[in-house]
């Protein structure tokens, strides 16, 4: 099956001459069915054309706007997990606790410890956070390798 990708409107032509991006496109094509591969390609194209400053703390809902086809939340979560994994390391997880309109980044280790003990202490105040599960959000940052590629381009 040949996947037809709708051309995007942008000022300068995008290139996948960099092996890292071309490897991503090939892996996505090989690993996903055509519909999810299209969604994955939309995400990679967005990363390629966006300024680096727009690629931090990306929320799940933002990916909904980036992709041009309708997929379920479950499918999108699987695709984002894929982009945080070894096969297509475009993104990395960014965990944050949001309380009273304040966003504080937390580490995976802090989160793992909270899951293990059932207790979470705010990284800045040291105070115990009740119902922490309801206040912790997963966002996404650009992986370090692709951040360096963006800085060079």
Q: What is the pLDDT of residues 5-24, one digit of tens each?
A: 333 333 333 444 466 888 89
pLDDT of residue 35 exceeding 60, the answer is yes
Q: What is the mean pLDDT of residues 89-96?
A: 94
Query: Which of 137, 66, 70 shows the shortest CA–CA distance to 97?
Result: 137
Return the number of other C-beta atoms located less than 10 Å from residue 151's C-beta: 8
pLDDT at 43 over 90: yes
Determine the Cα–Cα distance for residues 129 and 106; give it in Å rounded to an integer.
13
| Rounded distance between C-alpha atoms, residue 76 and residue 87, angstroms | 17
Query: In this structure, is the dihedral angle defined by the CA atoms of residues 27, 147, 55 and 60, taken in order, positive or negative?
Result: positive
Over residues 45-50, mean pLDDT: 92
pTM of the predicted model, to two decimals?
0.79
């Amino acid at each position: 099956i040949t996947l037809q990708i709708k051309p995007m409107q942008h000022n300068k032509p995008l290139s996948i001459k960099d092996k890292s991006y071309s490897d991503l496109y090939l892996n996505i094509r090989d690993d996903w069915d055509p519909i999810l591969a299209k969604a994955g390609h939309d995400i990679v194209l967005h990363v390629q054309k966006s300024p680096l400053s727009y690629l931090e703390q990306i929320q799940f809902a933002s990916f909904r706007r980036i992709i041009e086809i309708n997929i379920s939340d479950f499918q999108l979560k699987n695709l984002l997990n894929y982009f945080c994994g070894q096969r297509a390391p475009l993104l990395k997880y960014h965990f944050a606790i949001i309380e009273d309109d304040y966003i504080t980044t937390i580490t995976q280790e802090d989160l793992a410890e909270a899951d293990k003990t059932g207790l979470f202490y705010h990284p800045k105040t040291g105070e115990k956070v009740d119902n922490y599960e309801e206040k912790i959000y997963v966002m996404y940052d650009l992986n370090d390798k692709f951040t360096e590629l963006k800085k060079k381009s």
